[in-house]
């Protein structure tokens, strides 16, 4: 008979706080669970489940599982298996595998569809950003805009023999990319995201520039891809600072006083524009998001909104935890 391990009985001799546990402990502290659950509950099914079946799982449990998917890049089937394999995930989701059933992939799928059907991702992002604003972390006096390419499967080995028709290819430098674009607007002071737009990869950045503004900023910073933003029909009275094209900047004569001054000004503006790269780094490097998971722009944009909203909490976690303390990763 196989001996029972003490690691599964609550009598662990060693309780190392792993990086993953530290991460989840910190995110558990900074996510405004009460407000987010209150947004979703009016749209959630009743406690008896669909057609009088098994009771539904609590909204907070399903929301915690949904966030686990975003943080660790798990599909619906992979999330179901992870709940059975990794006790830390069950602990975070407030589930007890020993005394209750665990959500299957269909349950996880239905919750995601619930968020998509009622466009709740945008409301969740707005609630998170409102929490950050009340803490004084989003000043909204300036905005930095940029976009990043997100790859999509280019294979045609499927039932229809075609690629996702809502995704397109575009050329960046000397390389072709197939997928979509994530356009974001971030606070120029804190680098926290306030607006997300998802488009096909071949959509020009400048066409989405004005849609990334929240309307309260006085100045906007953008790279050379937004040349001509002030000439567009939707242009407002906002002061745009668009980067000089690389070739034109290289042609500056830095030996002259004017050339040196212009070059220094471009460096200062570049230091502000660099803040828009931080959310991209978090979702790609910290959360491991490198390729779209679903088919179509609507589903993938909803995931992008959730990812960037959670990236805001990750970047501001030290300030949000405040006096309660935080463990350094």
Overall size of the chain counted in residues: 329
Q: In which band, very low, low, confident or very high, does the pLDDT at 151 lie, cut at 50, 70 and 90? A: very high
Whole-number pLDDT of residue 11: 54
For residue 325, pLDDT beyond 80: no
Measured CA to CA, the distance from residue 115 to residue 169 in angstroms comes to 28
Query: Domain limits of the chain?
Result: 6-118, 140-293
Strand partners, 197: 183
What DSSP letter does each residue of 240-297 carry, written as one string? EEEPPPHHHHHT--TTSHHHHHHHHHHHHHHHHHGGGHHHHHIIIIIS---B--SSSH
**pLDDT tens digits along 83-115:** 999 999 999 999 988 878 899 999 999 999 999
Measured CA to CA, the distance from residue 155 to residue 145 in angstroms comes to 31
Q: At what angle do helices 120-134 and 33-40 cross, to 10 degrees?
A: 150
Measured CA to CA, the distance from residue 26 to residue 320 in angstroms comes to 10
Check if the beta carbon of residue 312 is closer than 8 Å to that of residue 128. yes
Tokens of 18: 């792993």
**pLDDT tens digits along 113-145:** 999 999 999 999 999 999 999 888 887 789 999
**pLDDT tens digits along 239-292:** 998 888 777 767 777 778 777 777 777 778 888 899 999 999 999 999 999 999
pTM for the full model? 0.87
């Amino acid at each position: 008979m196989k001996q029972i391990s003490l690691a599964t009985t609550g009598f662990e001799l060693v309780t190392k706080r792993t990086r993953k546990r530290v991460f989840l402990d910190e995110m558990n502290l900074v996510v405004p669970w009460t407000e987010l659950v209150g947004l979703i509950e009016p749209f959630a099914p009743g406690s008896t489940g669909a057609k009088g079946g098994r009771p539904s799982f609590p909204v907070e449990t399903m929301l915690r599982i949904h966030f686990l998917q975003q943080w660790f890049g798990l599909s619906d089937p992979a999330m179901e298996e992870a709940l059975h394999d990794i006790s830390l995930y069950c602990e975070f989701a407030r589930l007890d595998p020993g005394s209750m059933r665990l959500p299957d992939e269909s349950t996880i799928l239905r919750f995601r569809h619930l968020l998509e059907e009622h466009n709740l991702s945008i409301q969740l992002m707005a609630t998170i950003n409102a929490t950050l604003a009340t803490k004084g972390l989003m000043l909204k006096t300036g905005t930095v805009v940029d976009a990043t390419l997100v790859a999509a499967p280019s294979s045609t080995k499927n039932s229809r023999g075609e690629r996702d028709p809502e995704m397109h290819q575009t050329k960046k430098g000397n390389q072709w990319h197939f997928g979509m674009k994530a356009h974001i607007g971030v606070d120029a002071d804190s680098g926290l995201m306030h607006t997300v737009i998802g488009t096909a990869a071949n959509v020009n950045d400048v066409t989405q520039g004005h849609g990334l503004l929240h309307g309260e900023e006085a100045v906007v910073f953008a790279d050379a891809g937004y040349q001509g933003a002030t000439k567009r029909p939707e242009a407002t009275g906002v002061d745009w600072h668009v980067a000089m094209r690389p070739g034109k900047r290289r042609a500056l004569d830095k030996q002259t006083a004017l050339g040196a001054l212009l070059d220094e000004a471009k460096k200062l503006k570049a230091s502000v524009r660099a803040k828009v790269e931080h959310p991209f780094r978090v979702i790609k490097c910290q959360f491991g998001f490198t390729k779209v998971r679903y088919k179509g722009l609507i589903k993938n944009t909803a995931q992008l909104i959730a990812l960037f909203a959670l990236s805001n909490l990750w970047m501001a976690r030290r300030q949000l935890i405040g006096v309660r303390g935080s463990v350094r990763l």
